[in-house]
């Protein structure tokens, strides 16, 4: 069986060697040496100044909303994983959707300004499939209207835009290190803030507000990553270049075999060093997608409908029509893409698609 992704597992011995350090000190959480080492290595690897690891990739979105003291309306994208929208609602804010660009699949920056009201406090957009939003344009709008900017950068491990980490844009960026993501700690995530002062605030929020054992700097929650999670990250990290290379060759092979077919592809924004994290195909209509999906399933291949449904159709948000996002959500399918996916497997997948268009 071939699934949309396959978790990269490092050699078990290497993982155990790292775990030994936690055993020796009998210290398995509360920001031990492994979490600190992984934070330092990630900052260096990604070229960013402030990063705190968290226990998953959703809680940092919530912490960012809390830490920026957002109230009222947050402009956001309907085309993302559900966590982007649910975090807004969970924190008591209202998601105001803005439709997406049909090529880049990121929020359509041209439509943001008309959605701004006197209650708008922030923009929370997703760099979908590691494809950067139009960050410079969004930055201008945010400055003009005094809005905060949060990027859900769950897909963005290793992505660069205009020569620097995409995580350097916006007030806060959040990452997911879930087992299905390109770099992972089993469950895990991080937040990255441009301003050190804001980062310190978010840091307190992620650990109950603790500043030492007895002093509390405001309200907090428990979002700490454990040493066991960090050990996985430290074991996976040395393989990240190999993972990128392997994924790149899978993507290039798909491109080669699929480019003559009548389907649409994700367009990567100019100036991006991409990370090859997803391979979406956009079909003519939902019927065609379902036919291909069923045929693949019969051949033991299980792609995923990322992202479906369009988030503006969730039953806990106000009705807002988003024609482009709704249309694309119904027609988009992410093909299997992971370290070590074999050429013959790719050929099988492509054959089935070809035969069912």
Ligand X SMILES: *Cc1c(COP(=O)(O)O)cnc(C)c1O
What residues line the site for ligand X (CB under 6 A)? 56-58, 80-81, 83-84, 126, 152, 154-155, 176, 178, 189
Q: How far is the CB of 296 from ligand X (least distance, A)?
A: 22
CB nearer ligand X, residue 76 or residue 120: 76
210 Cβ contact partners less than 8 Å away, ≥ 6 residues apart: 204, 216, 217, 220
> With respect to ligand X, which residue has the nearer C-beta, 247 or 346?
247
190 SS3 class = strand
Query: CB 83 → ligand X: shortest distance, Å?
Result: 4
User: In which residue are the tokens 């309306």 written?
Assistant: 73
Single out the residue of 278, 268, 254, 253 nearest to residue 338, CA to CA.
278
Distance of closest approach, residue 154 Cβ to ligand X, in angstroms? 3
Nearest residue to ligand X, scored by beta-carbon proximity: 57
Is residue 93 within 8 A of residue 44, CB to CB? The reply is: no
Nearer to ligand X, 67 or 188 (CB): 188
Residue 226, CA atoms < 13 Å, CB-side half-sphere: 10
**Shortest spacing between CB 176 and ligand X, in angstroms:** 3
Q: What is the nearest approach in angstroms of ligand X to the Cβ of residue 62?
A: 10
Q: Work out the burial of residue 271: count CB atoms within 10 Å of its CB; fewer than 13 is exposed, 13-18 middle, 19 or more buried.
A: exposed
**Residue 258 or 274 having the CB closest to ligand X:** 274
Closer residue to ligand X (CB): 132 or 346: 132
DSSP 114: G
CB 140 within 8 A of CB 116: no
Q: What is the 3-state secondary structure (H, E, C) of 265-319?
A: ECCCCCCEECCCCCEEEECCCHHHHHHHHHHHHHCCEECECCCCCCHHHCCCCCC
**56 or 120: CB nearest ligand X:** 56
**What minimum distance in Å lies between the beta carbon of 161 and ligand X?**
17
Of the candidates 236, 259, 261, which has an alpha carbon nearest to the alpha carbon of residue 186?
236
Distance from chain centroid for Cα 122: 19
**Which residue is associated with the tokens 């997803």?**
278
With contact defined as beta carbons under 8 Å apart, do 211 and 15 qualify? Answer: no
Which one, 80 or 310, has the nearer CB to ligand X?
A: 80
Is residue 326 within 8 Å of residue 310, measured between CB atoms?
A: yes
Cβ proximity of 76 and 88 under 8 Å: yes
Nearer residue to ligand X within complex by CB, 165 or 173 = 173
Read off the tokens for 247.
Answer: 């994924």
The residue among 310 and 346 lying less far from ligand X, judged by its C-beta, is: 310
């Amino acid at each position: 069986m071939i699934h949309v992704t396959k978790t990269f597992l490092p050699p078990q011995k290497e993982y155990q060697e790292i775990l030994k350090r936690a055993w020796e000190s009998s210290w398995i959480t509360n920001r031990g040496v492994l979490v600190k080492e992984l934070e330092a290595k990630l900052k260096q690897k990604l070229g960013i100044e402030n990063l705190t690891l968290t226990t998953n990739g959703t809680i940092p979105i919530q912490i960012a909303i809390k830490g920026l003291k957002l109230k009222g309306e947050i402009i956001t994208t309907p085309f993302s994983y559900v966590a982007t929208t649910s975090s807004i609602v969970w924190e008591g804010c209202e998601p105001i959707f803005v439709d997406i660009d049909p090529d880049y699949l990121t929020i359509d920056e041209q439509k943001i300004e008309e959605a701004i009201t006197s209650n708008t406090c922030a923009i929370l957009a997703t760099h979908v499939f590691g494809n950067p939003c139009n960050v410079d344009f969004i930055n201008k709008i945010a400055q003009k209207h005094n809005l905060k900017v949060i990027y859900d950068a769950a897909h963005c491990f290793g992505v660069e835009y205009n020569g620097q980490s995409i995580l350097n844009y916006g007030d806060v960026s959040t990452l997911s290190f879930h087992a299905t993501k390109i770099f992972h700690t089993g469950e895990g995530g991080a937040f990255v803030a441009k301003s050190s002062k804001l980062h310190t605030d978010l840091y307190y929020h992620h650990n109950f507000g603790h500043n030492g054992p007895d002093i509390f700097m405001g309200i907090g929650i428990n979002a700490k990553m454990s040493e066991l999670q960090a050990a996985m990250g430290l074991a996976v990290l040395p393989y990240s270049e190999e993972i990128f290379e392997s994924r790149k060759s899978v993507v290039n092979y798909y491109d080669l075999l699929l480019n003559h077919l009548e389907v649409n592809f994700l367009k990567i924004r100019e100036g991006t060093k991409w990370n090859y994290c997803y391979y979406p195909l956009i079909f003519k209509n939902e019927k065609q997608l379902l036919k291909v999906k069923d045929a693949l399933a019969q051949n033991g291949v299980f792609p995923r409908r990322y992202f479906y449904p369009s988030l503006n159709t969730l039953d806990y948000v106000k009705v807002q029509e988003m024609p482009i996002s709704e249309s694309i959500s119904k027609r988009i399918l992410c093909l299997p893409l992971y370290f070590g996916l074999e050429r013959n497997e790719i050929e099988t997948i492509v054959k089935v698609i070809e035969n069912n268009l």
